[in-house]
Amino acid sequence: MDMIDSIECVSSSDGMEDDDAMSSNLPRPFLKASAAAIAAASIGVVPGGGGGASGAGAAGGIAGSLIPPATSVHELLECPVCTNSMYPPIHQCQNGHTLCSTCKARVHNRCPTCRQELGDIRCLALEKVAESLELPCKYYSLGCPEIFPYYSKLKHESQCNFRPYSCPYAGSECSVVGDIPFLVSHLRDDHKVDMHSGCTFNHRYVKSNPREVENATWMLTVFHCFGQYFCLHFEAFQLGMAPVYMAFLRFMGDENDARNYSYSLEVGANGRKMIWEGTPRSIRDSHRKVRDSHDGLIIQRNMALFFSGGERKELKLRVTGRIWKEQQNPDSGACIPNLFS
């Protein structure tokens, strides 16, 4: 990975403000089951073509007594291989052991519990149980209060505002996820990212061999202002056949909150300058997605070298910028910039 030779940064103030420690007293998860679900849970599952149900007590089936909905029913719907919740088609072997359709292919059609051949037996009784259940979002411990029918839960969780964020660091394929305070600490301690407070910045990027681009990703900088965190990216990559440099800002939060802010970037020298204004993208959008959409300040290499001056043998770019918060106009509903906070 190509890296910059040096970075200088001047912000409106030094250091970083300490965040208040997060504390939460969230309710424990609960599961709502209808009478039909509890009744279905007492049905035994027996082997047979396509799956079926008969009287309680069949070997390998669901226990004949009433099952507490918040514990045993949920456990019944947990795949023993991947431990994820099972969704139709739910498969079972001839002895009644169940597993999800994804894991059925992974275990080569052999029951992981008794090693019997799985065949194509569906556990219709368990699918019926799932149909009647309501479950809390899996991000309840992070603050989501919503409860959904079992089969609607996955769709919500893929878009839940309380779901963890992925690490925004672009210099490696980092798989760390967490909430914003955790990721800020992770970026500072593990990726050694520069942290600055203030809504204005002045960066000087220096590179000794500007002709070596090859999708080089340069270290990001994190800014803390308006009580929020922003990631400033600056990097070089190939755009078609032309090498370019690009700077853009990402907001450490959801897209709806990102729309409350705007930013500008400016680069120039020798009586010329380029200015970009836009809305920061949420870190829900990956670094690559933002870069490939060209949503930022893009500088062609020849122009970047012109801004650098000298004999164009060394890249010396000074990028300045600021972040401001948009305020809602109570009369017209329009946003007006707040430049003084």
What pLDDT shows up at residue 132? 82
Is residue 56 within 8 A of residue 41, CB to CB? The reply is no
β-strands 98-99, 32-33: how paired?
unpaired
Tokens representing 297 are 């300040």
Dihedral (C-alpha) 242, 248, 253, 257: value to the nearest 10 degrees? Answer: -120
Tell me which DSSP letter residue 73 carries. Answer: I
Supply the pLDDT for residue 47. Answer: 35
d(CA 121, CA 8): 65
Comparing CA positions, the residue from 216, 163, 167 lying closest to residue 187 is 167
The whole-angstrom separation of Cα 98 and Cα 118 is: 9
Asked whether residue 198 carries a pLDDT value surpassing 80, the answer given is yes
Measured CA to CA, the distance from residue 73 to residue 76 in angstroms comes to 5
User: What DSSP string runs through 71-133?
Assistant: IIIHHHTB-TTT-SBP-SSPEE-TT--EE-HHHHHHTTTB-TTT--B-TT-B-HHHHHHHHTE
Q: What pLDDT shows up at residue 312?
A: 62
Question: How large a percentage of the chain has pLDDT more than 90?
Answer: 33
Residue 37's pLDDT is 41
Q: How far apart are CA 280 and CA 295, in angstroms?
A: 9
Amino acid at 316: K
The count of residues in the chain is 341
Tokens of 191: 């990726």
CB 143 within 8 A of CB 118: no
Rounded to whole angstroms, the Cα distance separating 287 from 199 reads 21
Q: Report the DSSP beta bridge partners of residue 54.
A: 44
Question: Please, which pLDDT band fits residue 233 given cuts at 50, 70 and 90?
Answer: very high
Q: How confident is the model over 83-126, as pLDDT tens digits?
A: 888 888 899 999 989 999 889 888 888 899 999 888 889 999 88
* Residues with Cβ within 8 Å of residue 20, at least 6 apart in sequence: none
Q: Is the pLDDT of residue 248 over 50?
A: yes
331 has a pLDDT exceeding 80:
no
